[in-house]
């Protein structure tokens, strides 16, 4: 029997009456919120809380309903209508209106969400570790970041919390949390429909319906979403468009008010995605330390090969392996809330699954080098969380909880080399390099198993020492146990014993890593209300990100006779976090300005490391010495008149490796013979000896822009459309990111230049709840990369994933 069902029985017996609805502080809302309020939403658009005369921004970041302005956490709230009008239908789009959120994805499995530059190692995903940014949907922890690539379906609001949250949330999150809250079932019949069409054959349809099933006892909500779009990259070899979109989602919720004090919500969802995705292709070429005859230009010329275009923004590719990014994700959850009068007990029971069926071209060009690279996976997870939270109206408030999580992953990896592999991966002048049969059909089959168990006790007290001063200590005790199995079986095309050349490309491996650890973490927040509209807070947190195991293969030992078993586990990250915050409102709460300054240091930072085998696609994980991120964030919003809303958010982030003396070298310092016994390496980009490791202490962390901005405005004019009143409105949303590194070790070849994007919309809303608007995104057709990466083998080829070109369309929505 789950604890949720136990709560049901207890509530039936107790029959405690429901108290009055809580108030969450002064009436506040974000700019441009009038439309959200008209739809019955109580969340805002893109900025912090500011008066609009339409209600308040109520959040549940601290597991109770309260005003966003009074929560001593750096938090941003985006309402459902704002998500629709800004075209923010997944986490990737969310980064354009949330400057401190970064999201990178080469395909759904290889995705990462970071906050303030922290969260997940930059590079290919390794299942053996956890993410530092937690994604929660209706209080259920989603362990797979792939879920972030799906569309938001029937969303009430999204809360983005920055900084460690382990004393408030079930799963430990050391960098932040993305809290997605769906619209709840309603006892008042309602329905919503939204249809969008645009260029590139873009279509998105969303619909939901809600109402009572049994008087005021049982209500249901059904929601569905479909998104399709033609790809933006044309493959001249396969004669098809790639990097398309193809998402379908369905969600159901049944709310049962079992007693006046107990309600339960049973939720189920199913999501399917099968785009022709994801291609990375020629961006540029840089010189390495490999012999010139073994660098990209010479190797391609020897094969008589030319890419279809050396301008990546011609958006032409010729990869010769079929692409596939098929995934299924879904599950069931049971949420129970039992009102005890002065506190509420909450139980969240959940089961989820994720099935991943990919196909990639990991040589990135139209030659048969690596003809198959795929790691199909099947994941199952169960979680149980139980919390008790006071009602927030007493001298001592509290949240306390228990959390249990178990995850299993089974992966069947496959890598196959093709007839061009010998020339690209071996010395072309050697016997093996001259013979295409040496590596042709060399195949690695990987069987990978993983079990992850986590349990925690956590809690946070808030002592209201005076009407203005509060002190909030929090504590978390966490246990993690991970075990895995990695078996790589390698065969060649002839069924004979593997040669030295073949073993240098794909070597058999077998190991069984294990990791377990207890840790204690905590935080302390002191908050002071200068006035009802001016709030200060200071926070210190000591937290841990769980250690893990390597499940993508290990480097060879010093004698090249087997794997280096000392690298099979990764130590926990140890986080020290300091933050100062100021939340203010003025001009009758029409102006909001929130400021946060932070300093975070991490010892034993989990980083992606090369394994020294030049031809191996995947690296492994290891602990860097220390990293530090610090910065300042400013969120402002202004509503100077009832017709005009303005917002501007800015983030300055200085993120760097403090100590990482044995890091992997960037491509310009790779590819040559190792500089052993104190030999002097060649200069960067010059053929010769390469350093064994590189000291990148003091260099920037990947994926983090020093400056990131988002800004926008909306202006509306009242109109009369026959017998119907409405508003014509014009909106603008812009964003800017300064340049950032796209390689774990900064490289001159993989910096992505800064860029600004502009989005516009023009529409009309009516009092009958119609909303029709035309939109254009990336209006000035700015060319930019989301990611850059290197071809394996130190050939010098740099491949990229471009951002979307200009897109435009029309959206029509109606609420009933």
Per-residue tokens: 109: 């499995």
What domains can be seen in the chain, in order of their start residue? Answer: 3-349+360-377+386-815 (2.40.170.20)
Q: Give dist(CA 497, CA 492) in Å, integer.
A: 8
For every residue of 414-479, DSSP letters joined together read EEEE-TTHHHHHS-TTSHHHH-GGGTTT-EEEEEEEEEEEEEEEEEEEEEE-SSSEEEEEEEEEEE
The predicted model scores a pTM of 0.89
pLDDT at 610: 61
Per-residue tokens: 268: 């189920």
pLDDT at 495: 85
Name the strands in the sheet holding 316-317, side by side, starting at the edge strand that comes first in the sequence: 240-242, 233-235, 316-317
Q: Give dist(CA 52, CA 34) in Å, integer.
A: 7
pLDDT at 84: 84
| Dihedral sign computed on CA atoms, order 651, 628, 106, 419 | positive
Q: Give dist(CA 504, CA 422) in Å, integer.
A: 11
pLDDT at 186: 95
Whether residue 278 has a cis bond before it, omega within 30° of 0 = yes
On whether the CB atoms of residues 454 and 385 are closer than 8 A, the answer is no
Block means of pLDDT (10 residues each) for the chain, 816 residues, are 43 35 31 37 38 53 76 87 84 87 85 87 77 89 83 88 85 87 94 96 96 94 96 96 95 96 96 94 95 93 94 96 94 96 94 94 94 93 95 86 96 94 86 88 95 95 93 95 94 89 89 93 95 95 92 74 81 94 93 96 84 52 89 95 94 95 90 88 94 92 94 94 90 96 92 96 93 96 94 91 96 94
Residues contacting residue 457 through CB under 8 Å, at least 6 positions apart: 400, 401, 402, 403, 476, 477
Which residues on neighbouring strands pair with residue 463, listed in sequence order? 396, 471
Tallying the residues shown for the chain, one arrives at 816
pLDDT at 13: 34
Residues contacting residue 406 through CB under 8 Å, at least 6 positions apart: 381, 382, 383, 451, 452, 453, 454
- List the one residue out of 671, 666, 664 whose CA is nearest residue 620: 664
pLDDT at 353: 96
Q: Give dist(CA 319, CA 528) in Å, integer.
A: 59
pLDDT at 453: 96
């Amino acid at each position: 029997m789950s604890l949720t069902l136990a709560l049901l029985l207890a509530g039936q017996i107790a029959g405690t009456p429901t108290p009055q609805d809580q108030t969450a502080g002064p009436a506040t809302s974000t700019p441009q919120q009038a439309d959200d309020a008209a739809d019955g939403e109580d969340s805002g658009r893109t900025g912090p809380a500011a008066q609009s005369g339409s209600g308040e921004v109520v959040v549940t970041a601290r597991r109770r309903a309260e005003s966003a302005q009074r929560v001593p956490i750096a938090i941003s709230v985006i309402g459902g209508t704002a998500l629709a009008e800004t075209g923010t239908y997944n986490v990737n789009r969310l980064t354009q209106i949330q400057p401190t959120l970064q999201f990178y994805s080469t395909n759904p499995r290889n995705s990462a969400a970071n906050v303030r530059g922290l969260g997940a190692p930059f590079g290919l995903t390794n299942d053996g570790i956890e993410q530092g940014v937690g994604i929660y949907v209706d209080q259920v922890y989603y362990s797979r970041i792939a879920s972030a690539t799906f569309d938001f379906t029937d969303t009430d609001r999204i809360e983005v919390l920055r900084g460690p949250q382990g004393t408030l949330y079930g799963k430990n999150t050391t960098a932040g949390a993305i809290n997605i809250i769906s619209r709840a079932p309603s006892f008042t019949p309602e329905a919503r429909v939204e249809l969008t069409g645009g260029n590139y054959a873009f279509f998105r349809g969303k619909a939901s319906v809600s109402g009572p099933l049994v008087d005021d006892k049982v209500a249901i909500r059904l929601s569905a979403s479909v998104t399709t779009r033609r790809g933006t990259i044309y493959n001249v070899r396969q004669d098809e468009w790639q990097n398309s979109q193809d998402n379908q989602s369905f969600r159901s919720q049944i709310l049962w008010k079992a007693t006046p004090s107990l309600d339960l919500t049973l939720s189920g969802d199913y999501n399917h995605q099968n785009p022709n995705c994801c291609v990375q292709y020629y961006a540029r070429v840089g010189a390495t330390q490999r012999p010139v005859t073994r660098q990209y230009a010479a190797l391609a010329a020897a094969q008589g090969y030319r890419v279809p275009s050396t301008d990546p923004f011609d958006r032409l590719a010729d990869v010769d392996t079929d692409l596939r990014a098929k995934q299924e994700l879904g599950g069931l959850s049971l949420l129970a809330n039992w009102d005890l009068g002065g506190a509420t007990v909450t139980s969240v029971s959940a089961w989820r699954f994720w099935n991943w069926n990919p196909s990639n071209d990991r040589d990135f060009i139209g030659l048969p080098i690596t003809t198959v690279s795929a790691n199909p996976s099947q994941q199952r997870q169960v979680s149980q969380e139980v919390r008790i939270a006071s009602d927030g109206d007493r001298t001592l408030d509290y949240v306390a909880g228990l959390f249990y999580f178990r995850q299993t992953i089974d992966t069947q990896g496959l890598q196959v080399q093709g007839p061009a592999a010998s020339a690209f991966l071996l010395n072309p002048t050697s016997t093996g390099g001259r013979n295409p049969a040496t590596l042709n059909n060399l195949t690695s089959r990987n069987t990978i198993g993983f079990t992850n168990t986590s349990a925690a006790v956590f809690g946070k007290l808030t002592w209201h020492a005076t009407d203005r001063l509060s002190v909030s200590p929090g504590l978390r005790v966490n246990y993690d146990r991970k075990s895995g199995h990695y078996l790589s079986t390698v065969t060649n095309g002839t069924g004979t014993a593997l040669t030295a050349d073949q073993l240098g490309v794909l070597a058999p491996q077998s190991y069984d890593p294990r990791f377990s650890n207890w840790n204690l973490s905590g935080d302390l927040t002191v908050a002071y209300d200068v006035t009802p509209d001016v709030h200060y807070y200071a926070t210190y947190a000591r937290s841990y990100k769980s250690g893990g195991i390597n499940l993508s293969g290990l480097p060879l030992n010093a004698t090249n006779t087997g794997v280096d078993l000392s690298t099979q586990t990764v130590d926990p990250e140890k986080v020290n976090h300091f933050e100062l915050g100021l939340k203010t409102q003025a001009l009758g709460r029409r102006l909001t300005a929130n400021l946060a300054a932070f300093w975070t240091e991490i010892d034993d930072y989990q980083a992606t490391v090369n394994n020294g085998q030049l031809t191996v696609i995947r690296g492994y994980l290891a602990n860097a010495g220390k990293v530090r991120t610090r910065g300042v964030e400013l969120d402002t919003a202004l509503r100077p008149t009832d017709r005009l809303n303005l917002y501007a958010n800015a983030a300055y982030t200085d993120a760097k490796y403090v100590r990482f003396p044995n890091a992997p070298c960037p491509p310009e310092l790779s590819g040559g013979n190792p500089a052993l016994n104190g030999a002097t390496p060649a200069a960067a980009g010059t053929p010769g000896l390469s350093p064994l490791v590189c000291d990148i202490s003091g260099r920037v962390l990947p994926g983090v822009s020093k400056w990131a901005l988002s800004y926008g405005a909306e202006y509306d004019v009242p109109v009369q459309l026959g017998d119907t009143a409405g508003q014509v409105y014009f909106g603008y949303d812009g964003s800017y990111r300064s340049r950032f590194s796209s390689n774990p070790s900064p490289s001159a070849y993989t910096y992505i230049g800064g860029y600004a994007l502009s989005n516009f919309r023009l529409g009309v809303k009516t009092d009958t709840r119609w909303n029709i608007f035309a939109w254009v995104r990336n209006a000035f057709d700015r060319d930019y990369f989301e990611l850059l990466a290197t071809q394996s083998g130190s050939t010098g080829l740099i491949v990229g994933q471009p951002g979307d070109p200009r897109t435009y369309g029309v959206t029509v929505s109606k609420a009933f």
